Structure 1
């Protein structure tokens, strides 16, 4: 009988849980005996599952993921099995991700596998001849009667055959080494402290200021998120009572050292529809667009771990420019085309729906450069890309959006092991030189890593866990050989390339994510593990290959002694459910409710518009959706309209605007409240709901109507996407149609609305209609 292999897994976040599940259920029973050590008394890592006082802070429970639920998932648990339809969103909230992980653990991981409240403080690797063993040492943390965490002092230990580090890449907040920063520590917070508008309010209260500049240092994801959150709070200050002071007394200055694009969560894409329908365009979650296999050349997809050439960088910029549109490129790209004659840097990508429009509205001011010094409590110096220096003064607070470091996640490894792994505390992007697509090092084959890289997408974690487990399962003697000579050479070459990236050699451009080729990771690992990719449509398995998602990669079940093989049935059912939902999402149809289009329209309304309003009398049989260019009566009213974003003032809504319309020549005007709805219940009333504002200028009064948004159509006559929408909701009278009746036409350049029309039809005597048409332009 083969001796079971004991495996210590450090960390009970997503990567630790999927590693334990893989070891337990992807091989015959008794192959592995995993134990998951987690210092907190909860699973989930960064994702909120429930936390005790004194445990490590986690991300805001209400913040949404920046990738869709198809990517933030494992292959064998469908989101539909976790959340009811009423709550299910395309981009889950962090608290919902926590619930997902709880369900996953309850479904697949026995309680005895999880050792919660056990903080690993040291590991020791000892070799006995050819065999290596790991001794894991830990202390126990307890919870007292008041719910406080008590640190233990007694060290316990146990021996294991293998060790897997799954303790996370985002272990500790990183503060940049800027001269003078420590001297203004009372003004400095990490971006993790301003994840909500409440966090921003606490920051402003702490500074005691009535205005000034709020400086965000750092690009990429966290910089855009922090700047957007601060800008939302400042906008809310003017449009949510009690109005104590104006948010316009503050300015958000975002300082970024690298060029970047900020990308909204939904993007236009035509590749998944019926090829005979060339006009309809879906707006889909960005990961389904970016991870489409059709974007790769024909043939087997290889993992691309090569430096980016100047040609590739410019090709990437051209792609984003064409995808997002000329209008959006003006406000959503930064430092991209500063000097085309120079060797360009790879642009970073940040995900944010509101950032670009905050830039357009002036709430966020962007400076490309690097903070070189903090000169006084209220002044800093920025070195610009051309070498010139710029001073920013009147600083109220500094927010460091410089990410996290993984170093504390490695503190328990022996120094000799870290030396072999070429550990560097000077490189938070690439602290270790690993091979096997980030899973291991050929010289220490009994040590594994899962999810230890920037951007640990869940499908890649799952594949890494399968790869490690597959390697170890083939070694009955615990002594190897683990790899063939060809594999050893490949792994050596992989490490050589990572060293060249770390060295910053001229001409080698470091990417934002060193292992960012998600499609390549998934496809190459699946090929190595002989895991077939499931088609999206079983009716036409040779159709467009479509997006890469974890549920398309299910290993063949191993032979068990269970005649019903309940586990395989469960996994297949979960995977099939997700693929069916994906098919309904990416392929337009009468029953496919286009949440992405409603979100896109709502996002793109943000900001100020000039309007022209005309009123005419027309026959009630006039066609719907008239073009603003078709009859052109004399304008009766002109003015400015602004959609001011604010924190939602009522539960159950995703986003909210105060719409303020001021006629030309007036100081004030009328207001309405616009709210964005997500979830299936929005099918009845629409994705965008509108209330009139009556006596109270800050609160919604009578409900006006909901807007049901259709698909985008690419119309050559106007050279843009055209989106049509109608009013939904409960009719004012008991007749079949609403009266008054609203119709909308939106003209999009890429992801930006450049013009839109609202037509209001009201019945008048004699069977006619009073038609009020308002045309809005930027």
Structure 2
């Protein structure tokens, strides 16, 4: 007999729940109806570049790679970047819907306002839409509304003020944030120190840096008069999007940040839970690992971002941002420790220090989300059974077996209602819930799992544990193993690889490593594509120079002390020494010097400005400056340097050279000390042969060298410059 199932929410968790019901069990077993209050699918994930109505900026870069942000049996398009933007995730979900959910009854624009569990376990669902209020009855209910219900607005922050105050989920552009009828300048205050606080501070800093350094029309008046002031109660480890599995090497290899984290090669089997309550010893170990991964305790950026002393004994906080720390070092972001305790006009008070921040131009609240709205439609009896606590934003509900159900209500399931919604876990939860809803016979196969499960007790204990992890249920590999064991799904072996250097074994977890039996040929093809894509990325990072250009480009931001020697063999060109400062000023990519269609992503670029004194060998001394444009192309993984125009030296003119990073086995014998690169450029009759050396300290450049020789009919000289942090 076919069972009718109502799924509330058409985001990733709702879509994968529907797919599991329709495809992972016998055909015709379930009839699926999906309700969502929005006019599109995707939940948090926008459907296009211009979809600004949701809680996520459509141009936001995901902090997990496409190898984690995926379902097992749908591969990303080959052209998709390693770290997709939010709108690209939305388009992936639309392809997933088209592939697997044609049989689902998808009702968009239908907000579920109330539910009632009837005698026998059926569910009465009341929805509101343009058609009015409707009531339907279903055999089963799955809640897939997600963890992020409504933005949290702290009680001590006024909703109306002399300066704009918005939640971080509503930020899109500087021109939308800053009033046009007020004098330009002041501080953009960002409140909140966890993931969203650091991410939005870095995003706004990138927009502000672009506004200051763009050669085009300024999006706001006098952007150079603004700075960002970030208020956080404690610092977090800030990872860039690409980290290294070999951080102690001066020439480290790079991978998307999640792949080294989910490499199972270094973890004893079977896996044990490394999240939940973090002992002092475990905290010291984790903090030590992050320090090695970053190559610093972050004190080099600012004393306010340093993780030292007692913080090394505390459960670590983690965030992801490409440029936050370098913007702190450059002074565009200033950090204060504490909590905002009062807002009055353009002044803000910080407790417990009593610090008063004046001249505030706008406030952005990165204060998280209230999960209460995600289950407000559930009956009070259900909310009481799951011990719902809206004040506990990390652990609002005590649900059985990794957040999937509560034994009191066997016809009710949950998918994706927890913090750290890794897509593989959502897929596993959906499969588990599908088995639970099949009935007593299928449920009997899970009897041992259900009898041994202590998830509810564990969650209730963590609520009062002062050493609870930032992400209490965040050990993704462990949770995947637990679901695999319960469902009888074994993780597949990693794809065979050529012999790798010592310490670089690959056993990277992705959703495609756990697949349901009985896949169709088309599904297996998608699985194979996913596995091959991850393998290709990992091999490219571990055996070639892939992702090094990205790591170099990211780490150039800011000021460098430059010392350069020029040795000329011709009397017409004097030898000498240059000493000065080189600045890499970040901005969004421009079209200057290149052809870009409307759909092209121009990426990011730097306006490079060097300024200092040149002392010639004959004793003459004069001021010298030069400019270039440095660009990174994510699609080709290429770093390039462009000449600046003579009539407008803030704009790119034409290509100087592409930087070719040398594959390790092709590098000179001294290459183990740093990454080497080369380039060449023919300028009419003059040949420029360029050599680079980049010396890393884990993910950050410590220093680097640029040298080149110039030979031509009237030129014969060498230039050798070294750059070190100012």
TM-score, with length taken from structure 1: 0.83
Q: Does 1:134 align with 2:123?
A: yes
Tell me how far apart the structure 2 counterparts of residues 202 and 122 of structure 1 sit (CA, whole Å): 36
Which residue in the other structure is 1:553 paired with?
A: 514
Contact 1:221-1:351 at 8 Å conserved across structures: yes
- For the structure 1 residues 115 and 238, does the alpha-carbon distance in structure 2 shift closer, same or farther, using more than 3 Å as the test? closer
Among candidates 171, 175, 178, match of residue 204 of structure 1: 178
- For the structure 1 residues 582 and 57, does the alpha-carbon distance in structure 2 shift closer, same or farther, using more than 3 Å as the test? closer
SS at match of 2:61: coil
Among candidates 195, 198, 209, match of residue 224 of structure 1: 198
Q: Does 1:399 align with 2:347?
A: no
Which residue in the other structure is 1:75 paired with?
A: 72
Q: Does 1:177 align with 2:142?
A: no
Tell me how far apart the structure 2 counterparts of residues 615 and 288 of structure 1 sit (CA, whole Å): 43
Deviation at 1:106, TM superposition (A): 0.7
- For the structure 1 residues 599 and 721, does the alpha-carbon distance in structure 2 shift closer, same or farther, using more than 3 Å as the test? farther
SS at match of 2:527: helix
Greater shift in the superposed pair: 238-247 or 446-455: 238-247
Contact 2:50-2:58 at 8 Å conserved across structures: no
Q: Does 1:602 align with 2:543?
A: no
Among candidates 238, 255, 280, match of residue 262 of structure 1: 238
Tell me how far apart the structure 1 counterparts of residues 649 and 50 of structure 2 sit (CA, whole Å): 41
Tell me how far apart the structure 2 counterparts of residues 488 and 18 of structure 1 sit (CA, whole Å): 23
Which residue in the other structure is 1:463 paired with?
A: 428
Contact 1:267-1:286 at 8 Å conserved across structures: yes
Deviation at 1:21, TM superposition (A): 0.7
Q: Does 1:190 align with 2:167?
A: yes
Which residue in the other structure is 1:645 paired with?
A: 586
Tell me how far apart the structure 2 counterparts of residues 327 and 758 of structure 1 sit (CA, whole Å): 28
| Deviations, residues 626-645 of structure 1 (Å, cap 9, x unaligned) | xxxxxxx9852111110011
Contact 2:32-2:104 at 8 Å conserved across structures: no
Contact 2:371-2:390 at 8 Å conserved across structures: no
Contact 2:45-2:86 at 8 Å conserved across structures: yes
Among candidates 750, 761, 764, match of residue 698 of structure 2: 750
Structure 1 gap segments, 5+ residues each: 142-151, 272-277, 558-566, 620-632
Any residues of structure 2 matched to 1:541-580 within 5 Å, and which?
544=505, 546-557=507-518, 568-580=520-532
SS at match of 2:547: helix
Deviation at 1:28, TM superposition (A): 1.3
SS at match of 1:669: strand
Deviation at 1:496, TM superposition (A): 1.9
Q: Does 1:659 align with 2:635?
A: no
Which residue in the other structure is 2:139 paired with?
A: 161
- For the structure 1 residues 323 and 162, does the alpha-carbon distance in structure 2 shift closer, same or farther, using more than 3 Å as the test? same
Q: Does 1:771 align with 2:718?
A: yes
Q: Does 1:312 align with 2:268?
A: no
- For the structure 1 residues 218 and 52, does the alpha-carbon distance in structure 2 shift closer, same or farther, using more than 3 Å as the test? closer
Tell me how far apart the structure 2 counterparts of residues 259 and 490 of structure 1 sit (CA, whole Å): 38
Contact 2:564-2:721 at 8 Å conserved across structures: yes
Among candidates 25, 29, 35, match of residue 27 of structure 1: 25
- For the structure 1 residues 394 and 711, does the alpha-carbon distance in structure 2 shift closer, same or farther, using more than 3 Å as the test? farther
SS at match of 2:119: strand
Query: Please, what is the CA RMSD of the aligned residues?
Result: 3.2
SS at match of 1:512: coil
Q: Does 1:671 align with 2:627?
A: yes
Which residue in the other structure is 1:432 paired with?
A: 397
Deviation at 1:399, TM superposition (A): 0.8
Deviation at 1:281, TM superposition (A): 3.9
- For the structure 1 residues 300 and 263, does the alpha-carbon distance in structure 2 shift closer, same or farther, using more than 3 Å as the test? same
- For the structure 1 residues 24 and 407, does the alpha-carbon distance in structure 2 shift closer, same or farther, using more than 3 Å as the test? same
- For the structure 1 residues 51 and 246, does the alpha-carbon distance in structure 2 shift closer, same or farther, using more than 3 Å as the test? closer
TM-score, with length taken from structure 2: 0.89
Tell me how far apart the structure 1 counterparts of residues 225 and 50 of structure 2 sit (CA, whole Å): 38
Which residue in the other structure is 2:618 paired with?
A: none
- For the structure 1 residues 437 and 725, does the alpha-carbon distance in structure 2 shift closer, same or farther, using more than 3 Å as the test? same
Which residue in the other structure is 1:247 paired with?
A: 223
Contact 2:70-2:423 at 8 Å conserved across structures: yes
Contact 2:213-2:587 at 8 Å conserved across structures: yes
Contact 2:235-2:306 at 8 Å conserved across structures: yes
Deviation at 1:661, TM superposition (A): 0.9
Tell me how far apart the structure 2 counterparts of residues 589 and 408 of structure 1 sit (CA, whole Å): 42
Which residue in the other structure is 1:114 paired with?
A: 106
Deviation at 1:226, TM superposition (A): 1.5
